[in-house]
């Protein structure tokens, strides 16, 4: 159980998503990510997908096969369906980590680059031949070419200024570019039902690194206020269903592993079209472990000097 005595959850007065109060300082965050974060990932306390991928061996191969055949394929095909010119496929992954997703996209014919301030993760990503930049500003400063798509997996929840990051992304976009954002779906109805059933404190609060807590409504509001137009919304499996059915994986890695495998079995067993439409329906009801939104720049959001050659 985390000590929540020094922080509460409040509502951002401008954008409407939930966030920590008080906020950690940039120095506190730098120290946390430098000294503690990847230790927590390795111990299973953060980023479960990344934890499984970093384990190596059969487990990592099974995780890659699942992601390639489900989530990553869904994302790639939705992006490609929306591209006005499918022969031009360039992607910048903001928060690329060790580069697992970008390697998949490169193998599918996309020209890829990544952004990640974590030097250890960036070095792993570079081993596959990908260009990785320490910040979005570095990428924009060095590259004049706009990309067809930007992806941002589980990044905005970690940032002191998520709106500022989204605005910065516009500098790498042209009017037809696509943006994919994925964040955890927190304080959802299913989470609250499971929390009450299990009589637990909200386990999804992770201090100090999870600063912001989004749901489908607040993420869409943020995107639209910054200057994007949401064109598609999906999600992934609502893991809280396991909690409501009696499988308490909170704090129990073995139960969590079994629940994850059951989710994998389900997703690999149904046709992709069925899975996508089911997850679109879940998203409309606010269900699903993550919020996944595809967006384009809204008409008039490109101010002079923000994009162009």
Per-residue model confidence as pLDDT tens digits over 27-51: 888 877 766 776 666 666 666 777 7
Q: Is residue 72 part of a domain?
A: yes
Could you give the CA distance from residue 68 to residue 74 in angstroms, rounded to a whole number? 9
- Residue 145 domain-assigned? no
Where is pLDDT greater, at 208 or 47? 208
- Domain annotation covers residue 305: no
For 3, other C-beta atoms within 10 Å of its C-beta total 7
Is there a domain that residue 204 lies in? Answer: yes
The reply to whether 302 falls in a domain is no
Strands (E), the chain: 8-11, 18-21, 90-94, 111-115, 131-133, 147-153, 173-184, 212-213, 228-234, 290-297
b/e map 242-264, b = 16+ CB within 10 Å = bbeeeebbeeeeeebeebbeebb
Q: Could you tell me if residue 129 is inside a domain?
A: no
pLDDT digits (tens, 9 = 90+) for 175-201: 999 999 999 999 999 999 999 999 999
**What would the pLDDT profile of 119-174 be if each residue is shown by its tens digit?**
777 787 888 788 999 889 999 999 878 999 999 999 999 999 999 999 999 999 99
Closest among 183, 156, 210, 176 to 29, alpha carbons compared: 210
In a domain, 124, yes or no: no
Give the residue with greater pLDDT, 51 vs 23.
23
User: Which tokens go with 262?
Assistant: 């059951």
Owning domain of residue 85: 18-90+155-297
Is residue 22 over pLDDT 80? Answer: yes
pLDDT tens by residue, 231-285:
999 999 999 999 999 999 998 889 999 999 999 999 999 999 999 999 999 999 9
Domain count, the chain: 1
- Asked whether residue 138 is domain-assigned, the answer is no
Q: Which of 84-88, 220-224, 297-301 has the lowest mean pLDDT?
A: 84-88
Percent share of the chain, pLDDT over 70 = 90
CATH number at residue 219: 3.40.50
């Amino acid at each position: 159980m985390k000590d929540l005595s020094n922080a509460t959850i409040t509502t951002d007065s401008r954008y409407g998503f939930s966030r920590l109060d008080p906020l950690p300082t940039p120095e506190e965050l730098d120290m946390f990510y430098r000294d503690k974060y990847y230790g927590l990932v390795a111990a299973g306390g953060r980023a479960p997908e990344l934890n499984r991928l970093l384990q190596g061996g059969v487990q990592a191969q099974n995780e890659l096969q699942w992601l390639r055949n489900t989530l990553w394929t869904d994302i790639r095909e939705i992006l490609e369906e929306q591209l006005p010119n499918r022969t031009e496929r360039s992607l910048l992954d903001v928060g690329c980590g060790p580069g697992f997703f970008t390697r998949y996209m490169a193998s599918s014919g996309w020209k890829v680059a990544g952004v990640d301030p974590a030097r250890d993760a960036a070095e792993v990503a570079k081993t596959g031949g990908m260009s990785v930049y320490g910040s979005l500003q570095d990428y924009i400063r060095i590259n004049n070419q706009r990309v067809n798509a930007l992806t941002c997996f589980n990044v905005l929840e970690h940032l002191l200024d998520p709106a500022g990051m989204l605005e910065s992304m516009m500098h790498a976009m042209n009017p037809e570019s696509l943006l994919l954002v994925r964040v955890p779906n927190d304080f959802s109805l299913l989470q609250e039902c499971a929390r009450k059933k299990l009589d637990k404190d909200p386990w999804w609060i992770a201090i100090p690194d999870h600063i912001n807590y989004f749901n489908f409504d607040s993420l869409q509001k943020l995107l639209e206020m910054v200057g994007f137009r949401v064109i598609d919304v999906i999600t992934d499996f609502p893991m809280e269903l396991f909690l409501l059915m009696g499988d308490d994986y909170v704090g129990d890695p073995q139960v969590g592993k079994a629940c994850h495998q059951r989710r994998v079995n389900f997703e690999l067993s149904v046709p992709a079209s069925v899975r996508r439409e089911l997850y679109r329906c879940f998203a409309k009801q606010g269900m699903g472990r993550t919020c996944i939104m595809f967006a384009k720049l809204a008409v008039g959001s490109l101010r002079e000097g923000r994009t162009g050659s």
